[in-house]
Structure 1
Amino acid sequence: MAQKKGHLIQSRSLARKLGAFVALSDAELTVLDGLYKRRRTVCVGRDLMHQGQSEQVAYILVSGWACSYKILHNGERQIVDFQIPGDFLGLRSILLHMSDHSIEPVTDIEVIEVYIADLLAVFSDQPRLGTAVLWAASRDEAMVVEHLVGIGRRGAAERMAHFLLELEARLALINMGGRDGYACPLTQYLLADALGLSAVHVNRVLRQLREAGLVTFRDGFVTFHDYDQLVEFADFEKTYLDQVGPLML
Structure 2
Amino acid sequence: MNAIDRSPLTKKLSAFVALSEKELAVLQRLHQRRKAFVAGRDLVHQGQSQQAAYILASGWTCSYKLQPDGSRQIVDFQIPGDFLGLRSVLLHASDHSIEPIVNIQAAEVLVDDLLDAFAQTPRLATAILWALSRDEAMVVEHLVGLGRRDANERMAHFLLELGARLALVGMGSREGYFCPLTQYHLADALGLSAVHVNRVLRKLREDGLVTFRDGRVTFDNYARLVALAEFDPTYLDQTGPLLK
TM-score by length of structure 2 reads: 0.98
Q: Which structure 2 residues correspond to residues 195-206 of structure 1 after superposition, within 5 A?
A: 195-206=190-201
Deviations 1:155-184 (A, max 9, x none): 000000000000000000111110000000
Matching of residue 122 in structure 1 with residue 117 in structure 2: yes
**CA-CA distance at 1:198 after TM superposition:** 0.1
**CA-CA distance at 1:75 after TM superposition:** 1.1
**Count of equivalent residues:** 244
Indicate conservation of the 8 Å contact 2:5/2:11, yes or no: yes
- Look up the match of 1:8: 4
User: What is the CA–CA distance in structure 1 between the aligned matches of 2:114 and 2:100, rounded to whole Å?
Assistant: 24
User: 2:105 pairs with 110, 121, 134, which one?
Assistant: 110
**CA-CA distance at 1:148 after TM superposition:** 0.5
Moved over 4 A (4+): none
Q: Which structure 2 residues correspond to residues 210-249 of structure 1 after superposition, within 5 A?
A: 210-249=205-244
**CA-CA distance at 1:97 after TM superposition:** 2.6
Sequence identity percentage: 68
User: What is the CA–CA distance in structure 2 between the aligned matches of 1:49 and 1:25, rounded to whole Å?
Assistant: 32
Q: Which structure 2 residues correspond to residues 135-174 of structure 1 after superposition, within 5 A?
A: 135-174=130-169
User: 1:91 pairs with 81, 86, 94, which one?
Assistant: 86
**CA-CA distance at 1:44 after TM superposition:** 1.2
Deviations 1:68-126 (A, max 9, x none): 00110011110000000000000100111310000001000111111111111111000
**CA-CA distance at 1:246 after TM superposition:** 2.5
- Look up the match of 1:76: 71
User: What is the CA–CA distance in structure 2 between the aligned matches of 1:77 and 1:93, rounded to whole Å?
Assistant: 19
User: What is the CA–CA distance in structure 2 between the aligned matches of 1:245 and 1:83, rounded to whole Å?
Assistant: 20
User: 2:22 pairs with 17, 22, 27, which one?
Assistant: 27
Q: Which structure 2 residues correspond to residues 38-49 of structure 1 after superposition, within 5 A?
A: 38-49=33-44
User: What is the CA–CA distance in structure 2 between the aligned matches of 1:165 and 1:247, rounded to whole Å?
Assistant: 24
- Look up the match of 2:187: 192
1:138 alignment partner AA: S
User: What is the CA–CA distance in structure 1 between the aligned matches of 2:117 and 2:125, rounded to whole Å?
Assistant: 6
Deviations 1:127-178 (A, max 9, x none): 0000000000000010000000000110000000000000000000111110
SS at match of 1:79: strand
Is there any run of 5+ residues in structure 1 with no aligned partner, and where? none
TM-score by length of structure 1 reads: 0.96
SS at match of 1:60: strand
Indicate conservation of the 8 Å contact 1:56/1:97, yes or no: no
Give the alignment's Cα RMSD to 1 decimal.
1.0
